Amino acid sequence: MRKCLTLLALATFVGAWPASSQDEDGAAAPATFGQAVRDADVSVGLRYRVEQSDDDAFDDAALASTLRTSLKLRTKAFRGFSFLLEAEEVTPVGNDSTYRNLGYGGLDNGVRDRPVIADPALTAINQAAARLERGPVAFTLGRTELLIGDQRFVGAVGWRQHHQAFDAAALDTKLAADWMLRYAFLDRAHRITGAEEAMGSHVLHVSGPAGPGTLALFGYLLDYERPGAATNSTSNWGASYNGSRDAGAASVLWELQYAVQSDWADHPGSVDLDYQKTGIGFTRGDVSVRAVREALDGDGTYGFRTPLATLHGFNGWTDKFLGTPADGLVDVYLRLDHNLDTWNWTVRWHQFRSAVGSMDYGSEVDAMAVWNTPWNQDFGIKLARYSADEFATDTFKVWIWTSWNVSLRSAGGR
């Protein structure tokens, strides 16, 4: 009943606004639903990747060669309604027994003596959602990817071949002075392993300009229905403020974020933790440098958790800290980026320690270079080396990939 009332309230709120006579590009809206489908935007994406993981905890390294193929169709809006459908397939190219794919149930390849590379072979409807727009308000219902803020709490895990999506009802609306509000009710999470996680979670994110930066206020109430996942049921409230300001020939950059986490719903314990991120840097021309401190609290029993985040983008690319240790995590890192029209590269150096006590977890060096071609294809190489001290084991990873996306413009061939 609670879920039905939530969806009904959102749909009623959006339906009260008049429909627009123009589509998102400012062109005249389709006269019929059939025309909206015929003029749909269709795109195809391919990403082939070779990934190797050499972890001292295993005698043998892991090697995965996989291809992700996606087909996406988005109709034009007819009387405010549009539809999105995306199918994807992840296929091993060659031998799939040289890595543990972490697949759920029948997707598991059975390998246990090699490191994890979480790209199980599967075919799935990754997105299937309806969207209704009325004035400054939009309502989305169905299976969809959600990229909230910097994805530190909720994201699509786009680095893995099978993306994370949610069965959700989402409301997006423009507020005064270029502020935006997004609310989403999450009924189910479709994980990168092929698993599904039932929940009744709420996502609230409000953001807009404030002085020289962007201020965001957020709340994430995560309620997992499965008893074995109840430790992920938490309430999270916080704010972030990011921006830049010109300082002569260079610009000063900053990023600030703070959140508090408490036990919620059926969580079996008592949680009172916080999250802090402070960063400062500068950019000049195509080069930027940042120094960042990110701290996830721990109390010896629970570490600050963000189970729906795009975790690979945080705390090192070897993924040693996908789950925060019980004693917490402090990640101090330096980041150097160089971005050109066709080339971009980045280097990062991390030093990890516990938030409680004085454990020295280890350090990591990450590097990546990507070439963006004129024909909309990317070629990339990425390296990560974790040097363990008092946590985990030495690990070296390398990725080589190419991705290609092409728009077929419209199903009607326009």
Residue 29 falls within a domain, yes or no?
A: no
| Nearest alpha-carbon partner for 203 in 222, 231, 175, 230 | 222
Evaluate whether residue 414 is within a structural domain. Answer: no
- Predicted pLDDT at 159: 96
pTM, full prediction = 0.91
DSSP per-residue codes, 167-182: EEEEEEEE-GGG-EEE
Instruction: Provide the pLDDT for residue 408.
Output: 87
Domain count for the chain:
1
Whether residue 356 lies inside any domain: the answer is yes
Q: Give the Cα separation of 142 and 186 in Å (integer).
A: 10
Residue 11 in any domain: the answer is: yes
Averages of pLDDT over runs of 10 residues in the chain (414 residues) are 47 48 61 90 97 98 98 96 98 96 98 98 98 96 97 98 98 94 98 98 98 97 97 98 93 98 97 98 96 98 98 98 98 97 96 96 98 94 98 98 88 51
CATH number reported for the structural domain that contains residue 315 in this entry = 2.40.160.10
Nearest to 393 by CA among 61, 51, 50: 61
How far is residue 273's CA from residue 46's CA, in Å, rounded to a whole number?
A: 41
Question: Is residue 351 included in any domain, yes or no?
Answer: yes
Q: Which helix (H) or strand (E) holds 365?
A: strand 360-372
Task: Examine residue 12 and state whether it is found in any structural domain, yes or no.
Answer: yes
Over its C-alpha atoms, the chain yields an Rg (Å, rounded) of 22
Q: Residue 30: its pLDDT value, please?
A: 84
φ, ψ of residue 8 in degrees (nearest 5)? -65, -45
Q: Is residue 213 part of a domain?
A: yes
pLDDT digits (tens, 9 = 90+) for 174-202: 998 899 999 999 999 999 999 999 999 99
- Report H helices in 22-128: 33-38
Residue 26 lies in a domain: no
Q: What's the domain range around 143?
A: 2-21+38-407
